[in-house]
Structure 1
Amino acid sequence: MTDLPTTFPDTAMAETLIDVRDVSKSYGSVHALGGVDFRLAGGEVVGLVGHNGAGKSTLMNVLSGAVQRTAGSFRYAGAEMDAWNAAKAQLNGLRCVFQELSLCANLSAAENTRVIHRQLRGPGWRGRARQLISQALDDIFPSHGIDPNAKISELSIGSRQMVEIARAFTETDIRVRCVILDEPTSSLGHQATEQLLAYIRSAAARGVACILITHRLNEIIAVCDRAVVMVDGRIIAERSTRGLSRSNLVEMMGGIEATHSRIAYGETRRTGVVQIAHPGVDRADRPVMASAGEIIGFAGLDGHGQRERLRSIFTSINRAGKTPAAYVAGDRGLEGVFGLWSIADNLTIRSLNALQRAGFVSADAARSLASSWSSRLKVKAPSIETPILSLSGGNQQKVLFARALASDAEVIFLDDPMRGVDVGTKQEVYQLIRAEADQGRTFVWYTTEMEELNNCDRLYVFREGRAVEEIRGDDISHARILEASFGGAHG
């Protein structure tokens, strides 16, 4: 990460902005929050961590007024808030960036800005809204390249996330006092992530408090004043981030982080048939090759053609019809989840042919498959019949990953599959991918997280839409990837 400001505000003396006591939230017999005490001072940055389903997003929804607490007290800027809702939160300068983006897809970035700023009205409101969001984008994400007049549906998921974040920091006559960010970097590339973290610190220096919910623990350590850990709807630990290490934070979460040891290229079976042989667009573009049992990574700066190549290869294989393939989409909201369906229906949709008995889909076989893979991925839900949208974002992502693994696919394409997944589950999934690869499955994996690239046998580094370098086994390193990304000696 780039250097961030190391001088943190003295939040011990700052005004208490948010003070909740013994807050609970229940959905019938399910207790999402069970007696939470939480305090946030003005200008403080607090990191909220925990495994999927720990209650982090529920607490955020209560604080932002998106859902009503079942019990407990809520004080904001010293005043008791008996009836707290999203409208009051907005009027009091509290904003929220949801993990599942809340932008209207058929509106532009400027028009979406108008949605939260009712003061923008009368002749010329569109121009003022455009100027507002453009300035915020420029301040947070320099060189973002986003057209504020383009419809949100026309933007990439990373650009949509930038717009959502920038909108939360826009101000008219109401000063922004607190911004809650739920997995804000999950769809951002390395550069945009660094820009956001730096902006969070600069906003804190101006007195804007932030709550950062993320599974990227290095971000918590880099930018937050305090780390707060949630487990099963309760806060179980909190600590200043001064001197805090990643392993300390993992221990606070109640688990020991698995050590990752690379299996050197060639040590495992790599004698399977070639399953992917995708030509480059020109002589400067390396052809992408993969044999059965390989884990291939697509690396490089975000937006340099990795996702497009991933889709192109997947489409080619499907058209050929010789090798079964599955795709885990990076944008689960638009391309992955069937929102009105249950966990079981979402998980088994890719396997309907295999579940047929005498020409009909067997309900028992489908239920057995869904139960097995839901258990293997540790999807946290009352049952497999639970509506998928009632799950946390990370648990929804587990279902999509399970859908691909439960299928007959011999090649699985992964487009940022760990978005919003907790650190413990990530380690388990890495081991599962390796085990599946050892059984002959091929994985093509795009991610901007170095930790995930370390699990690959080979990498293709992309620059300006082309695969400019291939890196194998023990040669894979962050420095080597960055060198190739920017056109270094090997690029």
Structure 2
Amino acid sequence: MSATLTNDARAALIRFEGIGKTFRRVRALNDIDFAFLQGECVGIAGHNGAGKSTLMAVLAGVYAPTQGSIEVDGRAAPHYDANAARDAGVRCVFQELSLCANLSVAENMCVVHPQLRGRGWRRRTTQLMRDKLEEIFPGNGLKGNELVSDLTLTQQQMVEIARGFTVTDTPVRLVILDEPTSSLDAHTADQLLAFVRKAAERGITCLLITHMLGEIERVADRVMVMRDGGIVGVLPREQSKRELIIQAMGQHLEADKTPSQARVRSERGNERHYRWNVGAKKHTQIEAARGEIVGFAGLAGQGQTEALLSIYEAATTRGQGRAKVPFVAGDRGRDGVFPVWSIAQNLDLRWLFGGDKAKRGLVDFAAAREVVEAWRVKIGIRSASMNAGILSLSGGNQQKVLFARALASDADLILMDDPTRGVDVGTKRDIYQLVHDEAAKGCTFIWYTTENEELSHCDRTYVFRSAAVTRVLNADECTEDALLAASFEEQAA
């Protein structure tokens, strides 16, 4: 990048030396040495539970390190906390959004920027947010006075990101982006990545934590690879290739799983066993056969989640005989996990409602334990104990619990709303294989994803625009160009 300084010429904004962090008997970080340089973009990669989010929480001053030292601008910072981090210009966009749902966009800005007060604060704050949103996400359509609870997950993510980059009383010098594109469509994610690159060129240090390794490859000056709470490699830009990152993570890059169009389907024919009318006026028809994987695509917020909810409502209506329809939510914090329950209780939720093996209407705890243990091994949930609280897991591992809950239900129809959001590359491969295996047994999947490459696993994809289907693409037609073209079409074909 000619517009940026070389690593040798950049000053160290914040330096970690021997940083460790333990939670009781669990060692989350181990002997971290790293200098965050001014005006660089650092990609941070690693499997779920590798310590990425914990490291960023220490950098943001949320957690105090158990051991080690921190320097800011070359000076020791022995009492580094959230206030010290803010004074150093550190801002954070956490993976689990921190917006207050009952407040407006402008009011949420004031939560982290309390100096925005006095006469005319609302007008100034709203304008600040609108300007930053337009700078990062041109054409986003948000006005800044909306109630957060009325926004889509994608719009909330955009607001959180814009809030993190907004300058008020202190300069923004380092921004932590923890899975910032996990709920963004490809077009919006491209806008963010372009802005991140420009921000780094202007001297803002950007830390990009993501499982989308192609995004790291595009924008990172260096790549920090973490495993088991430590840094196992730091790759320069010329080595920040997907294959090398995966190799450093300790995972073998296997050939892509056989796409779903190659699966044997001739014996099932083309008969559609499911048919639903969705959309505000029920004008959009979705069809699926037994054992098919049907994809939903298009720009985020174009009615895909609403279509899934409409299918769920229709499929679970009394009298239609479809009581078992698991829904893997994309917004796990709001719609997925039960935060005060354990990992096991979240996974075996169906037993609370009298599953197939319930004894006289009572919970069969022995059978429940068998299910929990089987799926813990099958999907690789990393935890010291399944009796630990669900929030003790990383975001990606929480998502794995929700996915295991759905597959453990023995349902013949599963709805998935961006189910691999925040999940590492190795786990994604495991999930894809599980979906293929269950589909081969006759389970039907309706799968909305913001990751276009995942659509290669679908037999057929419905592309949405303005709550209507603009095009239906078979597996061999589902190219990036075709998806992009269909995403901007105004009327259904």
Provide the TM-score with structure 1 as the length reference: 0.95
CA drift of 1:459 comes to 0.9
- Relative distance call for 1:265 and 1:300 in structure 2 (3 A) is farther
Q: Which residue of 2 aligns with 1:306?
A: 304
Give the Cα separation in 2 of the matches to 1:30 and 1:362.
Answer: 32
Deviations 1:252-279 (A, max 9, x none): 2111222223242673353597442013
CA drift of 1:490 comes to 9.8
Give the Cα separation in 1 of the matches to 2:422 and 2:400.
Answer: 10
- 3-state SS of the aligned residue for 1:11? coil
C-alpha contact 2:280 2:467 (8 A) present in aligned 1? no
Q: Which residue of 2 aligns with 1:465?
A: 467
Give the Cα separation in 2 of the matches to 1:244 and 1:88.
Answer: 32
Work out which of the residue numbers 25, 30, 34 in structure 1 matches 2:26. Answer: 30
Deviations 1:97-122 (A, max 9, x none): 00001111111111111112222222
CA drift of 1:222 comes to 0.4
Q: Which residue of 1 aligns with 2:348?
A: 348
CA drift of 1:6 comes to 7.1
- 3-state SS of the aligned residue for 1:412? strand
Aligned residues: percent identity? 46
Q: Which residue of 1 aligns with 2:74?
A: 78
C-alpha contact 1:52 1:392 (8 A) present in aligned 2? yes
Give the Cα separation in 2 of the matches to 1:447 and 1:407.
Answer: 22
Q: Which residue of 2 aligns with 1:328?
A: 328
Q: Which residue of 1 aligns with 2:445?
A: 443
Work out which of the residue numbers 373, 379, 383 in structure 1 matches 2:381. Answer: 379
CA drift of 1:163 comes to 0.6
Deviations 1:384-421 (A, max 9, x none): 10100111000000001011011132100010000000
Instruction: Map 1:287-298 to 2 at 5 A.
Output: 287-298=285-296
Work out which of the residue numbers 223, 232, 246 in structure 1 matches 2:219. Answer: 223
Deviations 1:435-479 (A, max 9, x none): 000001000000121221110011111122111222113222212
Give the Cα separation in 2 of the matches to 1:244 and 1:283.
Answer: 48
- Relative distance call for 1:208 and 1:266 in structure 2 (3 A) is closer
- Relative distance call for 1:47 and 1:350 in structure 2 (3 A) is same
Deviations 1:154-197 (A, max 9, x none): 11111111111000111112100000010001011122111111
Give the Cα separation in 2 of the matches to 1:178 and 1:266.
Answer: 47
C-alpha contact 1:95 1:168 (8 A) present in aligned 2? yes
Give the Cα separation in 1 of the matches to 2:93 and 2:443.
Answer: 37
Q: Which residue of 1 aligns with 2:413?
A: 411
Instruction: Map 1:155-304 to 2 at 5 A.
Output: 155-242=151-238, 244-260=240-256, 261-264=258-261, 267-268=264-265, 269-271=267-269, 274-279=272-277, 287-304=285-302
Which one-letter code corresponds to 1:483 in the other structure?
Answer: A
Give the Cα separation in 2 of the matches to 1:51 and 1:242.
Answer: 22
CA drift of 1:286 comes to 5.0
Work out which of the residue numbers 294, 315, 318 in structure 2 matches 1:317. Answer: 315
- In the alignment, is residue 99 of structure 1 matched against residue 99 of structure 2? no
- Relative distance call for 1:144 and 1:281 in structure 2 (3 A) is closer
CA drift of 1:207 comes to 0.6
RMSD over aligned Cα atoms: 2.0
Provide the TM-score with structure 2 as the length reference: 0.95
Q: Please, which moves more after superposition, 287-296 or 349-358?
A: 349-358
Q: Please, which moves more after superposition, 263-272 or 415-424?
A: 263-272
Q: Which residue of 2 aligns with 1:135?
A: 131
- Relative distance call for 1:235 and 1:338 in structure 2 (3 A) is same
- Relative distance call for 1:408 and 1:220 in structure 2 (3 A) is same
CA drift of 1:486 comes to 2.5
Give the Cα separation in 2 of the matches to 1:99 and 1:423.
Answer: 17
CA drift of 1:283 comes to 11
CA drift of 1:488 comes to 9.8
- 3-state SS of the aligned residue for 2:261? coil
Which one-letter code corresponds to 1:181 in the other structure?
Answer: L
- 3-state SS of the aligned residue for 2:430? helix
- Relative distance call for 1:273 and 1:341 in structure 2 (3 A) is farther
Deviations 1:24-81 (A, max 9, x none): 1101111000111111100011000000000000000001011111001111111211
- In the alignment, is residue 126 of structure 1 matched against residue 128 of structure 2? no
- In the alignment, is residue 68 of structure 1 matched against residue 58 of structure 2? no
- Relative distance call for 1:479 and 1:270 in structure 2 (3 A) is farther
C-alpha contact 1:351 1:408 (8 A) present in aligned 2? no
Give the Cα separation in 1 of the matches to 2:198 and 2:97.
Answer: 24
Give the Cα separation in 1 of the matches to 2:270 and 2:373.
Answer: 31
Deviations 1:127-160 (A, max 9, x none): 2221221211111111111231222111111111
Work out which of the residue numbers 359, 362, 370 in structure 1 matches 2:361. Answer: 359
- 3-state SS of the aligned residue for 2:347? helix
Which one-letter code corresponds to 2:57 in the other structure?
Answer: N
Give the Cα separation in 1 of the matches to 2:384 and 2:281.
Answer: 53
Q: Which residue of 2 aligns with 1:146?
A: 142
Which one-letter code corresponds to 1:331 in the other structure?
Answer: D
Q: Which residue of 2 aligns with 1:21?
A: 17
Q: Please, which moves more after superposition, 145-154 or 275-284?
A: 275-284
Work out the number of aligned pairs and report it: 487
- 3-state SS of the aligned residue for 1:314? helix
CA drift of 1:367 comes to 1.7
- 3-state SS of the aligned residue for 2:160? helix
CA drift of 1:431 comes to 0.5
C-alpha contact 1:270 1:294 (8 A) present in aligned 2? no
